[in-house]
Structure 1
């Protein structure tokens, strides 16, 4: 089933039978480890099959647990090959200096993307377990600023991000803001356009105008 998610070329999501378009920003909502892993393993194993570069940030599990379970799900996937898999801890990816900063994330992601394209256009599949933000990391109150601004970053790029939120751990208010900052959702294995999404120009102007990027 194809769902048009942008004007870029189509790709196979690896979840269900969905095909979409590059330039995709999705909130992956789940309640169980099985639901979480169905998203992660399907998404990343499809990317490995297609030669994409996978960026994954585990937070509810260790990297070793991911390698083991991914091997069972996808025996041919060499998750230790950094030409195809980059596995970063939440600290390394989101707050390497101890503080989370949306603007520093902009810089880091742009650097990562630029380097990934040095040998030609390559699709990036990124997914992360966002429960790290519940650990009172300085600056984590700006997480939704980052999520809203990520729509600017992804637009027009061969990039797909699935941001994973455990609905049993985040408050209802936070999940509502997740919905306001992600144009698409995956829930119960179903990909849908999100009716609660608010364009970042509007959401940032109303909530964090200092981070507006028009």
Structure 2
């Protein structure tokens, strides 16, 4: 089933028979480890098959646990091993708050620098996914997480990039999940991918919630 998410090229999500288009920001909502892993393993396994550049930030499981699961699902693949240049497994600290402080503007620069580097030898598709439970810790600046999520809707469109932000609905409050829905144009829930009717364009969301972060 194809979900038209942009005017860019089509890709296989690796989830059921779903396809969509590059340049999209999706939230993955899950309740169980099995649901979470089905999204992660399916999404990244398809990326290996398609030779995409991949970013994954594990939090609820260790990198070693993930690598074992991924290797079992992809026995022919050495991706996720040390030295694999196209498969980046990053800790939450490495990715989101390397200096101990979370900043949407710093994230803008980090992702833009990563994208520029990824394209230096020609066009490459990028798949990114992260378990967002790191944001439940008392990290300075984490109150701006939804600002970052909203601003991703400026960064991702038009690029050969797809991000799936993974939220455990058993750990986040209902109000936080509502804001997650307001900042992601598409959702995965129960294995079903849909356009999100609660999504608010970043121009409007930021104007109402964080006008200092409007472009």
Q: Which residue of 2 aligns with 1:170?
A: 172
- Normalised to the residue count of structure 1, the TM-score between the two structures is 0.98
- Normalised to the residue count of structure 2, the TM-score between the two structures is 0.98
- Identify unmatched segments of 5+ residues in structure 2: none
Aligned-pair CA distance for 1:83: 2.2
| 1:52 equivalenced with 2:52 (yes/no) | yes
- 2:109 and 2:76 mapped to 1: Cα distance? 34
Q: Which residue of 2 aligns with 1:96?
A: 98
Count of residues in Structure 1 that have an aligned counterpart in Structure 2: 213
Give runs of aligned pairs for residues 28-67 of structure 1, distance below 5 A.
28-67=28-67
Task: State whether residues 45 and 77 of structure 1, in contact with CA within 8 Å, keep that contact through their aligned partners in structure 2.
Answer: no
Task: State whether residues 27 and 179 of structure 1, in contact with CA within 8 Å, keep that contact through their aligned partners in structure 2.
Answer: yes
Q: Deviations over 1:86-126 (max 9, x none)?
A: 00000000000000000000000000000000110000000
Q: Which residue of 1 aligns with 2:7?
A: 7
Aligned-pair CA distance for 1:73: 1.4
What SS class does the counterpart of residue 54 from structure 1 fall into? Answer: strand
Q: Which residue of 1 aligns with 2:160?
A: 158
Q: Which residue of 2 aligns with 1:20?
A: 20
Aligned-pair CA distance for 1:204: 0.1
Aligned-pair CA distance for 1:20: 0.4
Aligned-pair CA distance for 1:147: 0.1
Per mean C-alpha deviation after superposition, the further-off stretch among 91-100 and 80-89 is 80-89
List structure 1 runs of 4+ shifted beyond 6 angstroms: none
What SS class does the counterpart of residue 143 from structure 1 fall into? Answer: helix
C-alpha RMSD of matched pairs (Å): 0.7
Aligned-pair CA distance for 1:24: 1.0
Per mean C-alpha deviation after superposition, the further-off stretch among 126-135 and 81-90 is 81-90
Aligned-pair CA distance for 1:82: 2.6
Per mean C-alpha deviation after superposition, the further-off stretch among 67-76 and 204-213 is 67-76
Q: Which residue of 1 aligns with 2:208?
A: 206
What SS class does the counterpart of residue 112 from structure 2 fall into? Answer: helix
Give runs of aligned pairs for residues 136-155 of structure 1, distance below 5 A.
136-155=138-157
